[in-house]
Amino acid sequence: DAKTTQPNSMESNEEEPVHLPCNHSTISGTDYIHWYRQLPSQGPEYVIHGLTSNVNNRMASLAIAEDRKSSTLILHRATLRDAAVYYCILRKPSGTYKYIFGTGTRLKVLA
Amino acid sequence: NAGVTQTPKFQVLKTGQSMTLQCAQDMNHEYMSWYRQDPGMGLRLIHYSVGAGITDQGEVPNGYNVSRSTTEDFPLRLLSAAPSQTSVYFCASSLGDSSTDTQYFGPGTRLTVL
């Protein structure tokens, strides 16, 4: 299984942008990059996903490197409610129902 | 929609006891799964189901049983609880298993085995 590598923790000031990196050097051409986050004492929730092009939604943006060996989740203005563990996951094409969660990045947002 | 619901929220068991963790979803999702999360760790897949009557093992299936008699429900049974099964258990569901399908998680059950 292709693995992802993320920093254990990051800090950001409130109202500032946050860039959360993820390395996935063994990614296959058809693997999608998904991001989930887990707020304290809650189950994970979906944030965003992409294949090759950069993606935006109401929660965040996903920037994918041209060689797809890394990606960055961008929170444009961090709030205290964004403090969570963020997981970068590679999803294989259908037929492999398996999400491999690493230990993720714990984001601390400072007021 | 209630989404994915789990009961109970908390449970304490003694070693050797058995119990069933309940999971239900009202989104008509075909795929459902159970994960466990140990302190400071990511989630690990226990069992999953791709539809009613069909289940399969994940990474850490030992000590757990599942069945899927309806689309809505996917209970997880602990046969003989052990302290190593102390963990937080999450149930999840998704419409399909394509690369673009997303999972919806329940709030979790915190289980302590003494």
For the stretch A45-73, pLDDT in tens is 999 999 998 999 998 999 999 999 999 99
**Tokens read off for B23:** 């999971």
Closest listed residue to residue A40, CA positions, set A98, A102, A84, A97: A84
Amino acid at A24: H
pLDDT given for residue A29 in this prediction = 86
Looking at beta carbons, which residues of chain B come within 8 Å of A43?
A: 4, 90, 92, 105-108
Using the predicted structure, report yes or no on whether residue B34 has a pLDDT greater than 80: yes
d(CA B50, CA B53): 9
Nearest chain A CA: its distance from B55 CA (Å): 11
Q: A9: nearest CA in chain B?
A: B40
B50 touches chain A (CB under 8 A): yes
Alpha helices, H only, A1-111:
none
d(CA B25, CA B81): 26
Residue matched to tokens 């094409």: A93
Could you say which residues of chain A have pLDDT below 70?
Answer: 1-2, 94-97
d(CA A24, CA A52): 13
d(CA A19, CA A82): 13
Percent of chain A as helix, strand, coil, to the nearest 5: 5, 45, 50
Using the predicted structure, report yes or no on whether residue B80 has a pLDDT greater than 70: yes
Nearest chain A CA: its distance from B95 CA (Å): 12
With beta carbons less than 8 A apart as the criterion, state whether B111 and B85 touch: yes
Nearest chain B CA: its distance from A48 CA (Å): 9
Look at strands B10-13 and B109-113 and give their pairing: parallel
pLDDT given for residue B101 in this prediction = 85
Residues 19-38 of B with CB under 8 A from A: 31, 33, 35
Q: A105: nearest CA in chain B?
A: B42
What average pLDDT score do residues B58-87 get?
96
